[in-house]
Amino acid sequence: MKAPGIRERIKRQAVELIRSHPEGLRYSELFRKLREGTPSFNGGTINSTIWNLDVVMPESVWKPSKGLYRHTDFKEPEAVDESTGQELAVQPKIREDQFYAPFADWLKNEAEEATQAIPLGGSIFRDRWGTPDVIGKRESKRSDVIKAPTEIVAAEIKADTLQLVTAFGQACAYRLFSHRSYLVVPRQAHADEIARLDALCEIFGIGLVTFDRENPKAPTFTVLVRPRSQQPDLFYTNRYLALIEQELFN
């Protein structure tokens, strides 16, 4: 029997390495382990063999997100409603508004993206474009030599992982009246969902933050994408802020 070629040996070793790491291996980790395990393997050959391993060996390898290889033995099953064919997910009984105040505090004191931030939510802005869950302002300090114009920061927080696309649309809508907009989603969301949001937020200049929805007292907010500052339509900025002027500016 003919001995397997170099590429075939790389594939076999790569699959075994991925199987031995149920949580998955990043590309750089897999590449390093292959080089260290078999120094005779050429780096270029390894790269050209494993970059699309999920495509050439779909029965063994899958990518839940960009750059992450996992073995199909550990692929999460999809819950499907037999009557509709739609995916289902069990959502925790956690009130979303529990995270408003912690995020407002994080935005001000840890991220330092706002000098004042308040929980909002509800329908205070009185239109179908929605009201942000948290809104803040960013002003220069008296001690600053160079004074910057006041900026408005808005955030959409979503604890329900079945509503992430809707939440992204709302975060985009907040750019109408805010200089920076954040989308805040549970880290428990599917890795592929977070990867898609990561890419979209990068494209649209939306900030992306994950949090632990199972721990309202210590959500551990983590920035994945920082928001880009942009000039809103000041007509809408003034129209909406007039409704909360006392709360945000006094």
Q: Which 3-state string (H, E, C) describes 163-174?
A: HHHHHHHHHHHH
At 197 the pLDDT is: 96
Please indicate, yes or no, if residue 19 is contained in any of the structural domains.
yes
The reply to whether 106 and 46 lie within a common domain is: no
Please indicate, yes or no, if residue 136 is contained in any of the structural domains.
yes
The reply to whether 45 and 110 lie within a common domain is: no
CA atoms in the 13 A half-sphere facing the CB of 133 = 24
The two three-digit tokens of residue 174, written as one number: 């907040």
Q: Of 155, 23, 138, whose CA–CA distance to 96 is shortest?
A: 155
The reply to whether 146 and 209 lie within a common domain is: yes
In terms of residue numbers, what domain contains 223? 96-249
Please indicate, yes or no, if residue 82 is contained in any of the structural domains.
no
Structurally, how many domains does the chain consist of? 2
Per-residue pLDDT of the chain (250 residues; tens, 9 = 90+): 445 689 999 999 999 999 999 989 999 999 999 999 999 999 999 999 998 898 899 999 988 877 889 999 987 654 444 444 444 445 556 789 999 999 999 999 999 999 999 999 887 887 777 899 999 999 988 888 888 899 999 999 999 999 999 999 999 999 999 999 999 999 999 988 999 999 999 999 999 999 999 999 999 999 999 999 999 999 999 999 999 998 888 7
Please indicate, yes or no, if residue 85 is contained in any of the structural domains.
no
Please indicate, yes or no, if residue 147 is contained in any of the structural domains.
yes
The reply to whether 115 and 235 lie within a common domain is: yes
By the 8 A CB rule, do 206 and 227 touch?
Answer: yes
Where is the domain boundary, 21, 39, 74? Answer: 74
Q: What radius of gyration do the chain's Cα atoms show?
A: 23
At 33 the pLDDT is: 93
Task: Give the containing element (helix H, strand E) for 31.
Answer: helix 27-37
The reply to whether 137 and 219 lie within a common domain is: yes
User: Strand 116-119 relative to strand 134-138: parallel, antiparallel, unpaired?
Assistant: antiparallel
Whole-model pTM above 0.75? no
The reply to whether 55 and 129 lie within a common domain is: no
Q: How far apart are CA 181 and CA 53, in angstroms?
A: 37
The reply to whether 15 and 117 lie within a common domain is: no
By the 8 A CB rule, do 180 and 227 touch?
Answer: yes
CATH code, domain carrying 107: 3.40.1350
The reply to whether 63 and 149 lie within a common domain is: no
What 8-state DSSP symbol labels residue 210?
E
The reply to whether 152 and 57 lie within a common domain is: no
Q: How far apart are CA 236 and CA 242, in angstroms?
A: 10
Query: Sheet containing 134-138: which strands, arranged edge to edge?
Result: 116-119, 134-138, 151-157, 180-186, 207-211, 222-225
The whole-angstrom distance between residue 102's C-alpha and the CA centroid of its chain comes to 18
Please indicate, yes or no, if residue 165 is contained in any of the structural domains.
yes
The reply to whether 27 and 143 lie within a common domain is: no
Q: How far apart are CA 216 and CA 70, in angstroms?
A: 30
Please indicate, yes or no, if residue 131 is contained in any of the structural domains.
yes
CATH code, domain carrying 48: 1.10.10
